[in-house]
Amino acid sequence: MARNALAAVSIALLSSLGAAGVAQAQTSATVVIQTGAPQYRTPAPVQVQYHRAPPPPRYEAAPHPRRGMVWVPGHWEWRGHRHVWMQGHWVKARPGHHYRQPRWVEHGGRWNMQPGGWDRDGDGVPNRHDRRPDNPYRR
């Protein structure tokens, strides 16, 4: 239905341009009719590289352990045009996973920020279902 209406509008537009006369003979119009659903793609991950090394980490006293929580120590992040210290904080623990700390890595004089995140335990089996958790020889 929408295609027919769009086609009718484009035909009316083209015919009105043709009836406008010789003075407007150079006027043209292009009508594009797209069929099918739009296709969305996720953007590629962006790796930002910096020339300046981050400052040395600040000392933060780790608080006493909390049940069901993981302490993420403070780290430097690049914000705007400078390094900014992000204070340590607690995150809720995930069963069968371990937390990877954020860190800076140097490659050929350039620094990349490796963000923190959750990784599955070594063998991929959640510990609550595993008699031998983190068995590196499991296949």
Percent of the chain with pLDDT over 90: 18
Nearest Cα residue to 78 out of 111, 117, 116, 106: 111
User: What 3-state class would DSSP assign to 48?
Assistant: coil
Interior angle at CA 114, CA 127 and CA 80, nearest 5: 135
- Would you place residue 92 in the very low, low, confident or very high pLDDT band (cuts 50, 70, 90)? very high
Q: What is the mean pLDDT of residues 36-45?
A: 64
Helix (H) or strand (E) holding 35: none
Which residues is 70 bridged to in the sheet? Answer: 91
Which residues is 75 bridged to in the sheet? Answer: 86
Contact present, 53 and 111 (Cβ < 8 Å): yes
Model-level pTM greater than 0.85?
A: no
Position 86 scores a pLDDT of 93
Lowest mean pLDDT across 17-26, 50-59, 68-77: 17-26
